[in-house]
Amino acid sequence: MSRIAILALFCLPLMAAADKQPPVAQAANDNVALSATLYQGKDAVRELLGSDLGGYFIVVKVELTPKGAKPLAIDRDDFLLRSYNDGQKCQPYAPSQIAGRAALAVVPVGGGDIRAQQNGPVFGTPVGIGGPQQLPGSGGAMGTSTAQTQSLDTKVEDNASQKEDPLLAVLKAKVLPEKRTSEPVSGLLYFSLDGKHKPKDLALQYKTPGGLLTLAFR
């Protein structure tokens, strides 16, 4: 076999990997046009943020174009990531929940710290600021995830004496802004679901004044 043929065989997988683009979904109504790009896996998230976030987060880049005469009020809580595979759903995490000084601790209603009882992965920021945070596991869920097996509440543990994690500034700079606007706007949303999920099993839902938009990554 010639050197050219060998080189071609070697380069084909690399070219295929380079051509692989993240899944994109689109939807629109009379109020807004929405495009969403799904970033899953450590490599994809690291390319966006300079950190893989421990491998426990799914990042969605959204681009919104308001339609109509009235400005659109953008609220990140109007978004929901769903898994059709196991029924999990999650609202976006705030940057401060991921890399902030005020770490979230999940407690069962009635008191007591549940972090020691859960067996989900523990994520600490690269420089250790904010302390480890319990993410959804088979024993329960944290933050805005709704895949829970018991009644949970949250409390804030303020670590004001610690230095701010540099990752927090990156997450804040790239997150979807919350504001009223008539102009196109874009930004990132940070989600965490327990386990692995294929793109075809995931869908982003957005609650608008004109109804619910569902964007399936198929």
- SS3 per-residue string spanning the chain: CCHHHHHHHHHHHHHHHHHCCCCEEEEECCCEEEEEEEECCHHHHHHHHCCCHHHCCEEEEEEEEECCCCCEECCHHHEEEEECCCCCEECCECHHHHHCCEEEEEEECCCCCCCCCCCCCEECCCCCCCCCEECCECCECCCCECCCCCCEEEEEEECCCCCCCHHHHHHHHHECCCCEECCCEEEEEEECCCCCCCHHHEEEEEEECCEEEEEECC
Summarised one tens digit per residue, pLDDT across range 15-61 is 444 457 899 999 999 999 999 999 999 999 999 999 999 999 999 99
pLDDT digits (tens, 9 = 90+) for 133-185: 445 443 334 444 544 444 444 455 555 556 778 899 999 999 999 999 999 99
